[in-house]
Amino acid sequence: MNMKAISLFSSGGIGDLALESNGIDILLNNELLYDRCCLLKANFPNTVNIEGDISVNIDKIINTTQELLRGDELDILFATPPCQGMSKNGRGTLLNNIKKGLRPKLDERNQLIVNAVEIAKVLKPRLIVFENVPEMEHTFIYTPQNQYKSILDYLKEEFGDEYVGKGEVVEFADYGVPQRRQRLITIFTRDSFIKEVFHKNNTFLPPKTHSFKKINKMKKWVTLRETISQLPALDAKNHILATSHIPYHRVSVLDDNKYFWISNTPEEQGAMDNQCCKCGFQQNKTHGSKKINGVNQANKDTPIRCEKCGELLPRPCVIENGEYRIMRGFTSAYRRMKWDIPANTLTMNLSYACSDSTLHPSQNRVLSLYEAMKIHTITDFIYQWKRSDNVKVSDKLIREVIGESIPPRGLDVIFKHLCKLLKHEDVGHYGAQVIQTLF
């Protein structure tokens, strides 16, 4: 009999691919947004989809799951609550302000985890798996008991002595994903066998399979070169060169200014540092940043004209009061990715040159959507970019779903290990290999 799971905050179901690939029956999924639900219904037709706000669908989710279980146990509750409201502020600062009577500004989206906890406490799954950004460590919520608590402390208290739990920050490049993407994986279990394994290894997670340098039996990180270099070249100068025969392997044509900046950007560099393409002078001051009152701010004195010949440099700029000035923004804007390491984290802005390190390592363009799918490891699995309502899937929706999801290849390694534990298979003693422990 296959193990049974439910998925909450499912987005387009990219993370759920890892459950499905390990033979786990996903009985039910829940997602707020209609367009994501259409993707879920098209890709998981045998799963009951409950569309809408989880806070008003708690009873429906619980009752439907119990009906689908038919008296069996729920093995896994997998939840990926929204991360946009997670705080980067220090835990100590937040606690001190609360003690002083200063009410912190709370993001309502962070409260949604309370609903997931309510569902878990009724259904009592053998494993509870939360996935979120590392900033979840610093995030506070206002509990149903009218108290301010960090999310992690709240989880531990709510699940009580019946469950053992731990949060661990994982670098997904360490599990063979060609992308640097750190996530907090928080796992709780009530299974006595898994508790014993946890106490022995001090982790629920499998040993890392990859590392920056080849260590012991681990492989080296999977690079961008290994992942996308074999694809047909594209160029964003005109429509003919900006597309290919591979679905989604295409990019938008850039305007003349952006193409000028990008086409003069060397490999592993950013356009903000471009040198003179007229006289060849290579010593113009490069762009950078410095901390001002504790905040990292880009320099405002970066030259936009060659300090030798006065020619306009091929650097991102705007006209202000009749004069050119360097474009304001992060120093990582208009920067090329590097061939021989994993890609930076793919965000919803992966198709915009002005976003964080989104330029192709050597070609004059951003990543294509197909390249993003490969880097995110979606192409390892059977997934269709189609909707149950037969509306065409927009590029915007694809970018958003990729940016808000977890790479399924890495999650597949984790769930493969967790399935062994649920089957009470001996995984031996190997010790914790994660980056950081949060509990």
pLDDT in tens, 84-135: 554 444 445 555 555 555 555 555 666 788 999 999 999 999 999 999 877 7
Task: List the structure tokens of 299.
Answer: 């320099």
Same structural domain, 206 and 239: no
Same domain? 45 vs 83: yes
Give CA–CA dist 33/53, Å, rounded: 8
Residues 241 and 197 reside in one and the same domain: no
Domain count for the chain, please give it. Answer: 2
Contact, 270 vs 280, CB < 8 A?
no
> Mean per-residue pLDDT for 25-36?
98
Residues 300 and 241 occupy one common structural domain: yes
Predicted pLDDT at 89: 46
Rounded Cα distance, 383 and 402, in Å = 12
Question: By residue range, what is the domain housing residue 236?
Answer: 232-367
- Predicted confidence (pLDDT) at residue 263 exceeds the cutoff of 90: yes
Q: Is the pLDDT of residue 151 over 90?
A: no
Q: Mark which of 345, 367, 389 sits at the end of a domain.
A: 367
Residue 384 resides in a domain: no
Residues 243 and 199 in one domain: no
Q: Are residue 58 and residue 139 in the same domain, yes or no?
A: yes
Establish if 432 belongs to a structural domain.
yes
User: Is residue 25 located within the same domain as residue 92?
Assistant: yes
Does 341 fall in a domain?
Answer: yes
User: Across all residues in the chain, what is the average pLDDT?
Assistant: 91
Identify the pLDDT of residue 109.
63
Say if residue 146 is in the same domain as residue 39. yes
Measured distance between the N- and C-terminal CA atoms of the chain, rounded to whole angstroms: 34
What confidence score (pLDDT) does residue 185 get? 95
Q: How many C-alpha atoms does 142 have within 13 Å on its Cβ side? A: 9
Does the structure show a pLDDT above 70 at 432? Answer: no
Q: Domain holding 19: CATH number?
A: 3.40.50.150
Do 178 and 71 share a structural domain? yes
CA 260 – CA 276 distance, rounded (Å): 12
Whether the CA torsion 33, 34, 38, 40 is positive or negative: it is: positive
Neighbours of 184 (CB within 10 A): 22
Q: Are residues 189 and 311 in the same domain?
A: no
Residue 372 lies in a domain: no
Question: Percentage of residues in the chain with pLDDT exceeding 90?
Answer: 78
Q: For residue 393, is it within any domain?
A: no
Asked whether residue 9 falls in the same domain as residue 154, the answer is: yes
Do 39 and 101 lie in one domain? The reply is yes
